């Protein structure tokens, strides 16, 4: 059989294929930080990978960032804090960011950048053979919940200050309407695009346990979205829990954030342990 032309061979690479892994300097001790390039729908997409230095193999975790493009980019301190709790953490930048190919579209095709990250992290030598935990922050909740609906191998899902009803986001966030109309469409003209990104309409199809974390005074994603998601999961008979943090906003102050992370990872470990026990 003839060898593929290099360009054709590159296009044929499967989703989740590791193209490059380059270690970069990190402020933290006992962790290794890498910039990873991988394949998603034939595109080269980039993200950060953090590996704890003293406890591998570790369970894998994908952190789905919020915002869009330069707004809400992955914060290294955030994912290092997660990795220090004993997880290999991968945080996609989403397509079109930090030198990646393609164009981000707020939970449209860029959801495949999270889908493709699932086989990527499971293939890493530092990763233990267990389901992949997802944490979706803000609009990253859209990609996390879509991945929990559409992909195998996904474990517990944490939705932190997360968007679960994009119609409500359009109504509440006047400052985002121009971007949403450009990237997603108008909610009256393109309602299917909003519904497809809104887990409250398809909570019955989410196949993972869900933990909802939200500040009650969040001005960017109203706490009503957390309550709507909880109600939808309750109606669907799903395994979920909700932790509301009184008086806190979209980003928690450092001390409260660390305490909330402790609670989040205790819940994640309990769900992974239950899965392991049921798999024996």
**Positions marked catalytic:** 138, 250
Q: Which of 91, 72, 73 is nearest to 33 (CA)?
A: 91
For residue 88, the surrounding DSSP H or E stretch is strand 88-92
Q: How far apart are CA 228 and CA 170, in angstroms?
A: 16
Q: At what angle do helices 254-279 and 76-83 cross, to 10 degrees?
A: 40
Instruction: Give CA angle at 156 (28, 85), nearest 5°.
Output: 20
List the alpha helices (DSSP H) in 123-253: 140-150, 166-172, 177-183, 191-196, 223-235
Q: How far apart are CA 153 and CA 135, in angstroms?
A: 15
Q: Which residues contact 216 (CB under 8 A, 6 or more apart)?
A: 223, 244, 245, 246, 247, 248
List the alpha helices (DSSP H) in 205-253: 223-235
The CA R_g of the chain, rounded to the nearest whole Å, is 18
Report the 10 Å Cβ neighbour count for 136.
30
CA 52 to chain centre: 19
Q: How far apart are CA 250 and CA 113, in angstroms?
A: 24
């Amino acid at each position: 059989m003839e060898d593929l032309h290099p360009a054709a061979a590159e296009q044929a690479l499967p989703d989740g294929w590791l193209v490059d892994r380059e270690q970069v300097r990190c402020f933290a001790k006992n962790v290794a930080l890498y910039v990873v390039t991988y394949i998603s729908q034939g595109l080269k997409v980039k993200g950060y990978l953090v590996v704890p230095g003293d406890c591998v193999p570790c369970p894998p975790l994908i952190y789905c960032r919020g915002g869009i493009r330069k707004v809400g980019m992955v914060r290294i301190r955030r994912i290092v804090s997660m990795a220090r709790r004993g997880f290999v953490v991968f945080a996609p930048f989403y397509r079109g960011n930090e030198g990646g190919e393609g164009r981000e579209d707020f939970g449209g095709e860029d959801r495949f950048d999270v889908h493709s990250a699932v086989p990527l992290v499971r293939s890493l030598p530092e990763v233990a053979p267990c389901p992949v935990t997802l944490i979706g922050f803000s609009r990253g909740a859209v990609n996390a919940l879509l991945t929990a609906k559409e992909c195998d191998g996904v474990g517990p899902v944490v939705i932190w200050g997360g968007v679960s009803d994009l119609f409500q986001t359009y109504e509440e966030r006047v400052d985002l309407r121009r971007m949403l109309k450009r990237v997603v469409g108008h909610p009256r003209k393109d309602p299917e695009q909003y519904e497809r990104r809104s887990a409250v309409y398809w909570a019955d199809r989410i196949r993972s346990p869900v933990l909802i974390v939200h500040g009650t005074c969040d001005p960017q994603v109203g706490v009503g979205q957390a309550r709507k998601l909880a109600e939808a999961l309750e109606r669907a008979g799903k395994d979920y829990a909700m932790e509301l943090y009184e008086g806190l906003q979209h980003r928690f102050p450092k001390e409260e954030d660390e305490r909330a992370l402790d609670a989040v990872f205790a819940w994640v470990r309990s769900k992974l342990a239950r899965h392991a026990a049921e798999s024996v």
